[in-house]
């Protein structure tokens, strides 16, 4: 966080801490509602803003928790604190089940599925006898601390806001950590995550459950501060309202959750006071006026209030918090196979896309310590071949062996974890993340800290190791001085080099590079060639697709030439250059 950001944060915390001393009881109660709403919105910023999963069902999770705790405390006389555990368990389990069922959905199907379960769950509440059907449950006991009963808004205030503060701190830590970087990479697609050994589905699921648990805490607080629950505060309309809060505040920043919830409650309350002064039917105009104000906000700040603020030069989520400098051991490196031992063997690889054969019975092998080039005219099937080797696409037939293991049917992330790291023809970087964070993603499979440890900052040593590793790789490619810039600000050619650094952070045995030199200037190409040769000297094997013949010929030990999906010829550069078939098929009259 920037220094300015810290000052603002400290000021907000101080203001919030003092608020009950100056504000009336109702205003404190309203702030409590803001806190309860902001918890749900925080989950939505995380889920929708960061993770890219739009949810129209968060209110259902609020409801599950609220009803769970209400039911346990009213019918079984349990303590609300026990209710919290039960509520979180109920929310967590439901979120897990729903997530496992629906999170594989792509595109517009996923948001629609959230409408489906969100709507169904709130309808179910009204049809369960034990939950008081449509009339709900009343006389829910208030929260208590020891013997003190938290019935007044002022006393609950000092519970709600510390909980929100903790949640905020937790999520903030989380986003600046190993699992957080994976979460922030979700929008880049499952292939990107799998290429660093992460399981996008699992990341989505944990993210989904985390957001649901935040809604769950909110629901528990709701039940015990309102002390009455009924189905309608948890229906689709309520879910939409939470989403409006998150959007009004700004989905791009965690603080957007707080700002959005505050804005929505404040505006609604002010409208309720103001409109009756303007018109006899003012009471009915609330909704209309709110909608108009909301539309006006979107016209001027489609990134929400925080988007408005950050345009004026504030921090973004994941502006790096630099770990304190304390020496830590470097991340463990894997032992590389001895040069010359068999590394990769492709046998009879075939890939159909419907009727089109993109790769037709291609076989080749490479040994550790080699740089092998895969060349061929446009459409020869090189990139498809790469996708088959790395497991990005399933093979139609054939076999691939890597480090003595059959990986023909292994998922991409397992192959990545075995030590095969790749770059992409169409760059897959997170443009809004810093260079450092992008590279740090590469070390995902080498590190362990999960969401809980990261959120609680128990991951400091490992984070520092990751940081050091990422800096080392950035230094290697000569971008260390730009470590904190956004990756999207780099020219496209340089972004390709950055992908190499990310691949290197995975400590690979084999580096699979898809057109790394495209878009580079002459000196940059020379530097890249130099880097790759150094890597070979360090024992890393490289498989490369490249169009720049001069660059490839100088670099590689051997070439595999493909044409129309089939292998044409294989051999050292000089031999390939002299081959007639290659000349006619590919190089034409210019050997």
Partner 1 sequence: MLISRLIRYAAAAAGAAALAAGALAADLKVGLSVSLSGPNSSLGIPYAKGMQTALAYKPEINGRKVQLIVLDDSSDPTTAGRNARKLIQEDKVDVLIGTSGVPSAMAMAQVAKEGATPMIGVTPFAPVDNPWVVAVAQPTQLMVDAVVERMKRNGIKTVGYIGFSDAWGDLVYDALTKTAPTAGISVVANERYARNDQAVTGQVLKIIALHPDAVMTGGAGTPGALPFLALAELGYKGGIYGQHGLINPDFIRVAGAAGNGALMSTGPVIVAEQLPANYPTRKIALEFREAFLKVNHAPSTDAFSAYSFDAWLVFADAAARALSATKAEPGTPAFRLALRDAIHTTKEVVGTHGVFNFKPGAVYGVDERARVIVKLENGQWKLAP
Partner 2 sequence: MNWDVALILTVGGLATGSVYLLAGLGLVLIFSVTRVVFVPFGDIAAFAALSLAAFETGTTPPTIGLVLTLASLAVVAELWQLMRRRELARMPRVLMVWGLLPALPCLAAWWVTGRNLPAIAGIVASILLVVPIAPLIARIALRPIADASVLVLLIASLALHFLLSGLGLLFFGPEGSRTHPLVAGATTLPGGFPVSMQVLLMIASAIVLSGLFYLLFERTLHGKALRATAINRVGARLVGIRPARTAALAYGGGSLLAGLIGVLIAPVTTIYYDSGFIIGLKAFVAAIIGGLASYPLTALGALAVGLVESFASFWSGALKDVFVFGTLIPVLLLRSLLASRIEEEEEEIDE
Sequence-ordered alpha helix ranges (H) in 55-144: 58-75, 80-102, 109-125
Query: Whole-number minimum distance, CB 153 to partner 1, in Å?
Result: 8
Binding partner at 124 among partner 2, partner 1, none, C-beta below 5 to 8 Å by kind? partner 2
Binding partner at 179 among partner 1, partner 2, none, C-beta below 5 to 8 Å by kind? none
Select 34 or 445, whichever has its Cβ closest to partner 1: 34
The sign one gets for the Cα dihedral 208, 209, 212, 214 is negative
Query: Whole-number minimum distance, CB 500 to partner 1, in Å?
Result: 53
**HEC assignment per residue over 27-58:** HHHHHHHHHHHHHHHHHHHHHHHHCCCCCCCH
Select 26 or 169, whichever has its Cβ closest to partner 1: 26
Binding partner at 119 among partner 2, partner 1, none, C-beta below 5 to 8 Å by kind? partner 2
Token digits of residue 47: 């889920």
Select 133 or 334, whichever has its Cβ closest to partner 1: 133
Q: Are 547 and 361 in contact (CB under 8 A)?
A: no
Cα–Cα separations (whole angstroms), residue 151 to 39, 157, 445: 21, 10, 48
Query: Whole-number minimum distance, CB 231 to partner 1, in Å?
Result: 8
d(CA 359, CA 380): 8
End-to-end CA distance of the chain: 56
* 60 Cβ neighbours under 8 A, 6+ residues apart: 117, 118, 121, 122, 234, 239
Specify the 3-state DSSP secondary structure of 541.
strand
Select 24 or 283, whichever has its Cβ closest to partner 2: 283
Query: Whole-number minimum distance, CB 35 to partner 2, in Å?
Result: 23
Q: What angle do CA 590, 553, 373 make, to 5 degrees?
A: 115
Query: Whole-number minimum distance, CB 230 to partner 1, in Å?
Result: 3
Query: Whole-number minimum distance, CB 160 to partner 1, in Å?
Result: 15
Select 288 or 322, whichever has its Cβ closest to partner 2: 288
Query: Whole-number minimum distance, CB 155 to partner 2, in Å?
Result: 35
Chain residues binding partner 1 by CB under 8 A are: 23-27, 29-31, 33, 126-127, 133-136, 138-139, 151, 153, 222, 226-228, 230-233, 266, 269-270, 272-274, 276-277, 283-284, 286-287
Select 235 or 469, whichever has its Cβ closest to partner 1: 235
Chain residues binding partner 2 by CB under 8 A are: 48-49, 52, 54, 101-102, 104-109, 112-113, 115-117, 119-120, 123-124, 126-127, 186-191, 240, 243-244, 247, 250-252, 281, 284-285, 287-288, 290-292, 294-295, 298-299, 302-303, 307, 310-311, 428, 431-432
Give one DSSP letter per residue of 301-339, joined into a string: -TTHHHHHHHHTT---TT---PPP----PPPP-PPPPPT
């Amino acid at each position: 966080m920037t220094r300015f950001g810290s000052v603002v944060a400290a000021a907000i915390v101080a203001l919030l801490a003092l608020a009950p001393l100056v504000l009336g009881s109702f205003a404190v109660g309203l702030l409590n509602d803001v806190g309860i709403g902001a918890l749900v919105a925080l989950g939505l910023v995380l889920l929708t803003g960061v993770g890219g999963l739009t949810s129209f069902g968060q209110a259902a999770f609020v409801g599950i928790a609220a009803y769970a705790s209400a039911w346990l405390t009213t019918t079984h006389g349990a303590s609300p604190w026990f209710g919290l555990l039960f509520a979180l368990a109920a929310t967590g389990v439901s979120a897990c089940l729903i997530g496992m069922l629906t999170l594989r959905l792509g595109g517009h199907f996923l948001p629609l599925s959230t409408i489906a379960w969100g709507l169904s769950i709130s309808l179910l509440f009204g049809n369960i006898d034990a939950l008081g059907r449509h009339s709900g449950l009343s006389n829910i006991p208030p929260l208590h601390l020891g013997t003190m009963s938290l019935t007044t808004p002022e006393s609950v205030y000092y519970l709600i806001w510390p909980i929100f503060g903790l949640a905020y701190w937790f999520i903030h830590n989380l986003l600046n950590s190993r699992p957080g970087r994976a979460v922030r990479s979700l929008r880049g697609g499952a292939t990107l995550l799998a290429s660093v050994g992460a399981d996008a589905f699992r990341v989505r699921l944990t993210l989904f459950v985390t957001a649901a648990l935040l809604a769950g805490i909110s629901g528990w607080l709701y039940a015990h501060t309102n002390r009455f629950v009924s189905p309608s505060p948890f229906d689709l309309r309520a879910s939409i309202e939470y989403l409006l809060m998150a959007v009004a505040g700004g989905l791009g920043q965690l603080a957007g959750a707080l700002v959005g919830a505050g804005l929505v409650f404040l505006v609604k309350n002010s409208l309720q006071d103001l409109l009756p002064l303007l018109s006899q039917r003012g009471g009915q105009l609330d909704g209309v006026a709110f909608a108009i104000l909301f539309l006006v906000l979107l016209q001027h700040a489609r990134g929400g209030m925080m988007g408005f603020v950050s345009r004026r030069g504030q921090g973004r989520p994941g502006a790096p918090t630099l770990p304190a400098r304390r020496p830590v051991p470097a991340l463990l490196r894997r032992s590389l196979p001895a040069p010359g031992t068999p590394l990769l063997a492709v046998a009879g690889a075939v890939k159909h896309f419907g009727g089109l054969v993109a790769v037709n019975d291609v076989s080749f092998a490479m040994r550790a310590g080699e740089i092998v080039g895969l060349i061929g005219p446009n459409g020869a099937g090189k990139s498809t071949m790469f996708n088959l080797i790395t497991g990005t696409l399933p093979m139609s037939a054939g076999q691939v062996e890597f480090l003595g293991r059959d990986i023909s049917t292994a998922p991409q992330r397992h192959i990545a974890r075995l030590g095969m790291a790749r770059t992409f023809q169409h760059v897959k970087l997170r443009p809004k993340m810093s260079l450092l964070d992008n590279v740090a993603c590469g070390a995902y499979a080498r590190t362990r800290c999960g969401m809980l440890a990261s959120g609680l900052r128990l991951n400091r040593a490992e984070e520092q190791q990751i940081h050091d590793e990422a800096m080392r790789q950035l230094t290697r490619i000569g971008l260390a001085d730009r470590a904190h810039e956004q990756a999207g600000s780099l020219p496209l050619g340089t972004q390709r080099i950055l992908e190499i650094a990310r691949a290197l952070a995975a400590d690979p045995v084999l580096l699979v590079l898809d057109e790394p030199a495209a878009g580079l200037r002459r000196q940059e190409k020379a530097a890249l060639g130099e880097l790759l040769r150094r890597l070979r000297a360090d024992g890393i094997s490289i498989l490369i697709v490249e169009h720049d013949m001069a660059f490839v010929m100088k670099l590689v030990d051997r070439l595999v030439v493909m044409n129309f999906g089939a292998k044409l010829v294989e051999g050292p550069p000089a031999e390939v250059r002299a081959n007639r078939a290659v000349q006619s098929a590919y190089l034409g009259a210019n050997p």
